[in-house]
Structure 1
Amino acid sequence: MSTPDWLETANRHSPWPSLDALVTGIGVSGYSAAAGLLSVGAQVTVVDERDGDAEREKATILETLGADVRLGPGASAATPRPVDVVVTSPGWRPDAPILAEAAATGVPIFSEIDLALRLRDPERPAPWLALTGTNGKTTTVGMLASILRAGGLRAAAVGNIGEPVVDAVLDPDPYDVLAVELSSFQLHWSRRLSPRAAAVLNVAPDHLDWHASLAEYAADKGKIYEGCEIACVYNVADAATEELVREADVVEGCRAVGFTAGIPAVGMLGVVDGVLADRAFVEQRQTSAAELCTVADLPSSAPHNVANALAAAALARAHGVRPGAVRAGLMGFALEPHRIQQVAEIDGATYVDDSKATNAHAALASLMAYDPVVWIAGGLAKGQDFDDLVHAVKDRLRGVVLLGRDRQLISDALARHAPEVPVMEVADGETEVMDRVVAHARQLARPGDTVLLAPGCASFDLFASYGARGDAFAAAARRLARG
């Protein structure tokens, strides 16, 4: 079966009833992709190796709408029949047999992001302000959506977290603009996105158990700039992000716009005497800047949070949002739970939950905001090492409490680079693991210290999610505070 010529440039009104599509995965994005395809009349088959209650419930709905759904072991071993396109869910590895088969036979593989682009209404195709990065994506896209709404626009944070992009583009009440968070998994499969503006916040080792190398991971991140129209926003402190801009094929006239925690050069956003300043989107940028807000207006003055705010502001300004709306949007934004969230105070030490710091780069950003620190770390390392992280923060560490399956990796890095720092470990299999962790941290902490849960690892060895891990830490700290 040959792929229809119209598919690459499709829109809402293309001849979708003639398309036979295979959707791999029936999770959030897979379900949304399948339902979206069915809504425009396509023939849809859905496969997933899982066969639990949640999968069966979604399968029942999709089957009612006309899909062929196949669940359980072996369901995704091979394409059930010849199809025109495969739409894959984030996290499905390229070496999955069904995807490898599609690639070998020339069947195009779309991400749900590619599908969403092709399901837009050509009469009201809400522009995309897209962002990615190893860390800070969700906070930044939330800030961006808040700014856009403060500017009077109907906007939503969609993509990797929040509403699926397919659902957003099919909303009967069209959005004015979308703040789109994209993961490396989504970008891996994506073609030319052509966003109005795009940002890469940072690039650091992560998901190397999925991507073949750091270079390939970075290249997938860089796809977000392809076809960019107005501005490619990069992090001045992270040379890899600027290099991705240099390599991108963009629309003529698209500008590179940097953000920095320091004083901004022409064409950048930065900080001057505690004020977030724009020297990129003002007419007299050679000699002046627009004041956007103050650091004190932000929900946290941690350096990485200031950087996130600058990136969000840059994307909004690229879309024409006024400085006053930037300030109002940032002032009205609240950080999500488990992101540098103070949860207790015990014996003069502050206990902070940053369970969302699930890789070494995020843990570094969190640790650099506090001094001295009792660091709580460990979990699933996802192919990372921790030598650079420990070397960078060793002088801040009062002590370290380790938990989780890969805690020995961090312990070894501490032994190499910070042998004088006391380390306490909580063995697997113990009940109420966080009660023990917090008790150990209390022994190490002194008045004025910060006890920081910034694990640098995923949570799934001991907890259902990073949120469950953070909740357990907060509950344990509060129990200890109550005595």
Structure 2
Amino acid sequence: MRGKKIAVFGLGRSGLAIGRAALAEGAYPRVFDQKPLESLPKRDAYDEAIAAGIDITLGWDGVLPEDIDLLVANPAVPKDHPTLKLAAVSGIEVISEAEFAYRISKAPIVAITGTNGKSTTTVMTYLCLRACGEDAVLCGNIFGSGYPEMPMTEAAMNSTPDQILVAEISSFQLEWVVGFRPAAAGITNIWPDHLDRYSGFDEYAATKQRIFACQTAEDFAVVKANDPVVRIPGPAKSTLRRGTRPRSRLSIGSSEVEASYPTVFTIGATGEHAQIDDLNLTILDQKIRLEDLPFSEPHNYLNASMAALLAYGVLRFKAARDPDSNAAAVIREAEDTAQARRNSKRSVYSARTSEPSPLALPPQIVEGLKSFHGLAHRMELVGERNRIRVVNNSMCTNPDAVIKSAMSLRDPAHLLIGGVNKGLDFGPLRHYLANHRHRAYLFGTDAADLNKMLGETYPVFRTLDEAFHAATEAAVGGEVIMLAPGCASTDQYKDFRDRGDVFRNLAKEWLSR
């Protein structure tokens, strides 16, 4: 990085962090944003950049200086933006924030992406690693979780080899990755989303899949078994239990190189490394009673399985690199305990076998899962009045998430749905609502269009405030009022956090009456 002239396209939270990190690396950053000063959504980012000595051009016409060595695209900039395409064909290297952060990070990275559940899984992974005594840092595309968090580039800039960066990664951040190689990576699921940005679902899904693209035999991947969309990295599933990882010949340009693939852990009903039944969640050798976990939603059992195995994978990654590390001690203790337990069950008359040592999940990881108590704006219970519960689920931004959220409720719900549709099909939600005891209240810019897709059977409101008050008039004891927008928030709010904060305030005012 040192001495390079770096253009950062887009200011905001990420652009500011990239500019600061580039300065710290001895580069010469210039931040370009097409918005004039008065149109910036967050003026504080501009003020902080100026105070840091970063060169900024606002109201930019899209023409790059000729002496630029590297262009870092803010995730908010569409990948088909003319400036990015022109830079790429002109020989200027274009990378994403995730790629930039990876290049400057001194710590290994755990990366989690997916359509739904990625924030929850990211926080669970962070808690598992902290419980193991690791200096884990929560970062990436995670905002307003209620836990200490920061932009991925900021975390990478301040990282040390002893740390682990636990990063939520969006599809936008994966669009321009080149060598991004997380030590452990997982995809929670892939459902239609952001189709206003991509040509279709296939392109969106392929972009998510890039999280595994550069992983090697030293790394770990976690996926749901038999997922119809997510592809398992490599030509075949590989596990630690089998010992060897598949290799093949891979063509890159005109060269042919040997490719290796990560160790893969699978979860779910048919998962090899984590399974769920009516009473227990079993992860490797640890059987956890469901009643001992602080959550009861089926999707959170999957999130917990992925988080535990991601934490386990990165611990093994660190242990392999440094046998004297804390990670190595944690893994060694778990394996020794598991082996002793296994030996104690053998009959003194039985012959010794050459079976491989079992994969042993450190019990600290289980304690980390038990310490998880939810995220702000994600199935957040605001309060209860007259046996009517109010739930803030502002982080729910696609129709599949609305369905999953409603399914997790045991009671009939009044669902507040609306905002800006991202080009998504609400047909499955229409079918779900028609067959369940829930009512929808539609609000925001696309409320009328949503009503057409949902069968024109639900009331339409201009604002969330109006929709909420209508729901409070209709709700009775034993029911739930839940904000589950299924849409983006940018019509009336800064972001989903702002929308959730407004809803929480509305709810608290009503609850206090």
TM tier, smaller: 0.7 to 0.9
Structure 2 CA distance for aligned equivalents of residues 472 and 185 of structure 1: 27
Partner of 2:352 in structure 1?
none
Q: Superposed, which structure 2 residues align to 1:52-201 within 5 Å?
A: 52=38, 53-62=43-52, 64=53, 67-71=54-58, 73=59, 75-120=60-105, 125-161=106-142, 162-171=149-158, 173-201=160-188
Q: More deviation in 302-311 or 173-182?
A: 173-182
Q: Residues 313 and 326 of structure 1 are in contact (CA less than 8 Å); yes or no, is this contact kept in structure 2?
A: yes
Cα 1:407–1:299, aligned 2, differ >3 Å: closer, same or farther?
Answer: farther
Cα 1:475–1:46, aligned 2, differ >3 Å: closer, same or farther?
Answer: closer
TM-score of the pair, normalised by structure 1 = 0.83
Tell me which of 245, 249, 252 is aligned to 2:260.
Answer: 252
Q: Residues 78 and 101 of structure 1 are in contact (CA less than 8 Å); yes or no, is this contact kept in structure 2?
A: no
Runs of 4+ in 1 over 6 A off after TM superposition: 247-251
Partner of 2:387 in structure 1?
348
Structure 2 CA distance for aligned equivalents of residues 398 and 224 of structure 1: 37
Q: Residues 208 and 383 of structure 1 are in contact (CA less than 8 Å); yes or no, is this contact kept in structure 2?
A: yes
CA shift digits 1:365-385 (9 cap, x unpaired): 101112422221111111112
AA aligned to 1:259 is: I
Give 3-state SS (helix, strand or coil) of 1:415's partner.
Answer: coil
Q: Residues 232 and 245 of structure 1 are in contact (CA less than 8 Å); yes or no, is this contact kept in structure 2?
A: no
Cα 1:427–1:163, aligned 2, differ >3 Å: closer, same or farther?
Answer: closer
CA shift digits 1:372-420 (9 cap, x unpaired): 222211111111120012213432233221111111233223317xx6x
Partner of 1:3 in structure 2?
none
Give 3-state SS (helix, strand or coil) of 1:86's partner.
Answer: strand
Structure 2 CA distance for aligned equivalents of residues 135 and 76 of structure 1: 36
Cα 1:356–1:298, aligned 2, differ >3 Å: closer, same or farther?
Answer: farther
Cα 1:178–1:56, aligned 2, differ >3 Å: closer, same or farther?
Answer: closer
Tell me which of 350, 374, 381 is aligned to 2:414.
Answer: 374
Give 3-state SS (helix, strand or coil) of 1:23's partner.
Answer: strand
AA aligned to 1:37 is: A
Cα 1:32–1:415, aligned 2, differ >3 Å: closer, same or farther?
Answer: same
Instruction: Establish whether residue 330 from structure 1 lines up as the match of residue 369 from structure 2.
Output: yes
Q: More deviation in 407-416 or 199-208?
A: 407-416
Partner of 1:269 in structure 2?
274
Give 3-state SS (helix, strand or coil) of 1:464's partner.
Answer: coil
Instruction: Establish whether residue 391 from structure 1 lines up as the match of residue 391 from structure 2.
Output: no
TM-score of the pair, normalised by structure 2 = 0.79
Structure 1 CA distance for aligned equivalents of residues 153 and 496 of structure 2: 26
Q: More deviation in 233-242 or 35-44?
A: 233-242
The alpha carbon displacement at 1:131 in A equals 0.9
Q: Superposed, which structure 2 residues align to 1:320-469 within 5 Å?
A: 320=315, 322-370=361-409, 371-415=411-455, 423-427=458-462, 433-434=464-465, 436-469=466-499
Partner of 1:239 in structure 2?
228
Partner of 2:309 in structure 1?
314
Cα 1:475–1:245, aligned 2, differ >3 Å: closer, same or farther?
Answer: farther
Structure 2 CA distance for aligned equivalents of residues 171 and 477 of structure 1: 39
The alpha carbon displacement at 1:326 in A equals 1.4
Q: More deviation in 300-309 or 53-62?
A: 53-62
Structure 1 CA distance for aligned equivalents of residues 491 and 470 of structure 2: 20
Q: Residues 231 and 318 of structure 1 are in contact (CA less than 8 Å); yes or no, is this contact kept in structure 2?
A: yes
Q: More deviation in 49-58 or 135-144?
A: 49-58
Structure 1 CA distance for aligned equivalents of residues 119 and 150 of structure 2: 12
The alpha carbon displacement at 1:237 in A equals 6.6
Cα 1:195–1:247, aligned 2, differ >3 Å: closer, same or farther?
Answer: farther
Partner of 2:242 in structure 1?
none
Structure 2 CA distance for aligned equivalents of residues 149 and 231 of structure 1: 19
Q: Residues 20 and 84 of structure 1 are in contact (CA less than 8 Å); yes or no, is this contact kept in structure 2?
A: yes
Tell me which of 207, 211, 216 is aligned to 1:224.
Answer: 211
Cα 1:330–1:44, aligned 2, differ >3 Å: closer, same or farther?
Answer: same
- Equivalenced residue count is 436
Cα 1:296–1:467, aligned 2, differ >3 Å: closer, same or farther?
Answer: farther
CA shift digits 1:298-350 (9 cap, x unpaired): 34212222221111111012234643111211122232211111223234332
Structure 2 CA distance for aligned equivalents of residues 252 and 95 of structure 1: 31
Q: Residues 350 and 450 of structure 1 are in contact (CA less than 8 Å); yes or no, is this contact kept in structure 2?
A: yes
Give 3-state SS (helix, strand or coil) of 1:239's partner.
Answer: coil
Cα 1:19–1:393, aligned 2, differ >3 Å: closer, same or farther?
Answer: same
Q: More deviation in 241-250 or 44-53?
A: 241-250
Q: Residues 418 and 443 of structure 2 are in contact (CA less than 8 Å); yes or no, is this contact kept in structure 1?
A: yes
Structure 2 CA distance for aligned equivalents of residues 437 and 144 of structure 1: 36
CA shift digits 1:243-301 (9 cap, x unpaired): 676699986362332221x3x54x2312234322124xxxxxxxxx322x333343421
AA aligned to 1:364 is: I
Structure 2 CA distance for aligned equivalents of residues 310 and 172 of structure 1: 27
Q: More deviation in 341-350 or 245-254?
A: 245-254
| Unaligned ranges ≥5, structure 1 | 1-15, 280-288
State percent identity of aligned pairs: 31
Give 3-state SS (helix, strand or coil) of 2:423's partner.
Answer: coil
AA aligned to 2:453 is: A
The alpha carbon displacement at 1:364 in A equals 1.6
Give 3-state SS (helix, strand or coil) of 2:191's partner.
Answer: coil
Instruction: Establish whether residue 290 from structure 1 lines up as the match of residue 280 from structure 2.
Output: no
